[in-house]
Amino acid sequence: MTLADFRGIKRSAEDETQAATGDAPAPHEKGHPGPAEYSKIGLILGVITAVEVALFYMDMAQWALVAILILLSATKFGFVVLWFMHLKFDSQLFSAPLVIGMAFAVALFAVLLSSLGGGLV
């Protein structure tokens, strides 16, 4: 991987066209989505939240409920971070602080809860 790849500077044919028309994104960015795509993501997030609340009222094993709810909230997290916060389109360097912060937070969870007790199930 070259430094340019790491920075996400590779420019697609679409970017070149945009550059030619003067409507180019910053060098480290691919074009961001439009309002229609954002609205679709918003709709998906709303549906996932509704499913989460419906699951809360269903009678199922606690471990299964926990697993599904964590999966769904991770999906919501991913949609917001990748699309609304543009990590899918921006340089990978912007992702590093969040990934490192999340990794430390998960490690903190694991160490604290496994050594001192407590948990989700």
Q: Per CB under 8 A, does 97 bind other proteins?
A: yes
Pick the closer one to other proteins by CB: 13 or 119: 119
Instruction: Give the count of beta carbons closer than 10 Å to the beta carbon of residue 7.
Output: 13
- For the bound state, the minimum distance from the C-beta of residue 101 to other proteins, rounded and expressed in Å, comes to 3
Pick the closer one to other proteins by CB: 13 or 53: 53
Residue 53 CB burial class (10 angstroms; 0-12, 13-18, ≥19): exposed
Q: Per CB under 8 A, does 53 bind other proteins?
A: yes
Pairwise CA distance, residues 51 & 25, whole Å = 36
Reference 89, options 23, 19, 20, 26; nearest CA is 26
Q: Per CB under 8 A, does 47 bind other proteins?
A: no
Pairwise CA distance, residues 121 & 109, whole Å = 14
Q: Per CB under 8 A, does 56 bind other proteins?
A: yes
Q: Per CB under 8 A, does 82 bind other proteins?
A: no
Q: Which of 39, 51, 60, 64 binds other proteins (CB under 8 A)?
A: 39
